Chains A and B, each alone.
Chain A
Amino acid sequence: KAGVTQTPRYLIKTRGQQVTLSCSPISGHRSVSWYQQTPGQGLQFLFEYFSETQRNKGNFPGRFSGRQFSNSRSEMNVSTLELGDSALYLCASSLVRDHYEQYFGPGTRLTVT
């Protein structure tokens, strides 16, 4: 079974631009979560989606948003990029019944210049 895939793997953007990252969960997984990883703050929870609904959001500004499609694929968007948004963005998926066990993708490395 294929794992979680994330595209693109690497991205370079300029301050003020916006960016969209994509995540395809493991087949059959219906929950998708996003995390931001930086050297200073470590791994921080962004948001979780299930059945196209955002169920939980971490402590991030409104510039960070996301959505989930009917096939469980998810996208996250960051508008008005800031230098501090440079990070590895990780997507994780889980089955409904085994919700606590999350499987991570390889991440998207975003660099803001």
Chain B
Amino acid sequence: AQSVTQPDIHITVSEGASLELRCNYSYGATPYLFWYVQSPGQGLQLLLKYFSGDTLVQGIKGFEAEFKRSQSSFNLRKPSVHWSDAAEYFCAVGSRGAGSYQLTFGKGTKLSVIP
């Protein structure tokens, strides 16, 4: 069965500092990987996705992520964090079976930004 691990429950960074959120996945086939962001009381917004091809993918709001098959990782990065980036971030893997499809999410990493 597929699974996603986000080792960091809570990360605090200063505004303007760089950011890296870790994500490790377990899936038997080629993974479809996603990062979502959730602000308090809101739904999930898709930041970026990896299906195949270039292992470095660009997303919205200046985020990028790198897929490393050998490490089963899909870490999210941003060179300079803004106060508005404070939110909870979820990594997810998409799996297909029996004609259906579902996302399996990690537990999330809450990001706090110090002005």
Chain A residues within 8 Å of B, Cβ to Cβ: 4, 6, 31, 33, 35, 42-43, 45, 48, 50, 55-56, 58, 90, 92, 99-107, 109
Interface SS, B side: strand
Report B-chain residues with C-beta under 8 Å of the C-beta of A103.
Answer: 46
Bound form: Cα–Cα A106–B34 in Å: 18
Classify chain B: how many residues form its interface, as a range.
Answer: 20 to 34
Bound form: Cα–Cα A61–B110 in Å: 30
Bound form: Cα–Cα A105–B46 in Å: 11
Closest residue on chain A to residue B36 by CB atoms: A104
B100 within 8 A of A: yes
B98 within 8 A of A: yes
Chain B residues within 8 Å of A, Cβ to Cβ: 32, 34, 36, 41-46, 49, 51, 90, 92, 94, 97-108
Report B-chain residues with C-beta under 8 Å of the C-beta of A90.
Answer: 43-44
CB–CB A102/B43 < 8 A: no
Report B-chain residues with C-beta under 8 Å of the C-beta of A101.
Answer: 34, 46, 49
CB–CB A33/B102 < 8 A: yes
CB–CB B43/A104 < 8 A: yes
24 contacts between A and B (CB under 8 A): A31-B101, A42-B106, A42-B108, A43-B103, A45-B102, A45-B103, A48-B101, A48-B102, A50-B100, A55-B98, A55-B101, A56-B100, A56-B102, A90-B43, A92-B44, A102-B46, A102-B103, A103-B46, A104-B43, A104-B44, A104-B45, A105-B43, A107-B43, A109-B41
Contacts known (A100-B49, A101-B49, A104-B36); A48 close to B105, Cβ less than 8 A: no
Bound form: Cα–Cα A92–B94 in Å: 13
Report B-chain residues with C-beta under 8 Å of the C-beta of A104.
Answer: 36, 43-46
> In whole Å, how far is B50's beta carbon from the nearest beta carbon of chain A?
10
Bound form: Cα–Cα A6–B97 in Å: 27
CB–CB A100/B90 < 8 A: no
CB–CB A106/B102 < 8 A: no
Report B-chain residues with C-beta under 8 Å of the C-beta of A92.
Answer: 44, 103
Q: Which of A4, A33, A100 contacts B51 (CB 8 A)?
A: A100
Report B-chain residues with C-beta under 8 Å of the C-beta of A31.
Answer: 101
> In whole Å, how far is A2's beta carbon from the nearest beta carbon of chain B?
14
